[in-house]
Amino acid sequence: MVQVLKPAVRARIQDAALRRFAADGYPGTSMAAVAAAAHTASANLYRYYGSKQELFNAVVPRDLADRHDTLLDTRVAALTQDAPDAQAAAAELLGFWLDHRLAMVVLLDRADGTPFAGYPAAFVQRLVRHAEQALNGRPSPAQHE
C-alpha cells in the first residue's frame, strides 16, 4: 500500500530541518537529527525527502536568496537617494528578515557544503558595491532593474 504524504508531517520536517541547519549548519546536520527533531523515523523522513540536499533546497530555496538580494538592493538604493519610500523599503526588508530569520542565519553563516556557501562573501561584496557607488555618486544596481 502506498503511503499518503501528509502536509502536516512535511511542515514539521521542514521546520525541524530549518532549526537544525540554523543551529548546526549544513555539514553538522544529519537526516537522523532532523528526523528526531521532527518526531518521526528516519525512514519516514526519506519518504518525504530523498536526500539532505533536497531537504535543504526545500527550506532554503534559491528564490529566497534572490528575494533577499532584491530587497537589500531596494533598501540601500532608497537610502542613498533619500527616496520618499525609504521607510517602506526598510520595513519590507526587516519583515523579510523576521519572517525568514532561521533561513537568513543559514544563508549568512551556516551554508558550507551547499550552493550558498559563498553567500556571506557575496552579501558583503554587494554592500561594498553599494557603498562605493554611493561615494562616487553613481546609481545603485536597484535603479537599473
pLDDT score of 78? 82
28 in Cβ contact with 53 (< 8 Å): no
Residue with cell 557544503: 113
Amino acid making up residue 61: P
pLDDT score at 40: 96
- Cα angle 96, 104, 47 (rounded to 5 degrees) comes to 105
Its pTM stands at 0.86
pLDDT 10s per residue in the chain (145 long)?
A: 667 889 999 999 999 999 999 999 999 999 999 999 999 999 999 999 999 999 999 999 999 999 999 999 988 888 777 777 888 888 999 999 999 999 999 999 999 999 999 999 999 999 898 888 878 876 555 544 4
In 23-113, which ranges are E strands?
none
d(CA 103, CA 14): 11
- Which set of grid coordinates corresponds to residue 82? 533619500
For 76, list phi and psi in degrees, rounded to 5: -65, -40
The DSSP element (H or E) to which 16 belongs, if any, is helix 7-24
The grid coordinates listed for 40 are: 518521526
Burial string for 53-79 (b: 16+ CB within 10 Å, else e) reads eebbeebbeeebbeebbebbbbbbbbe
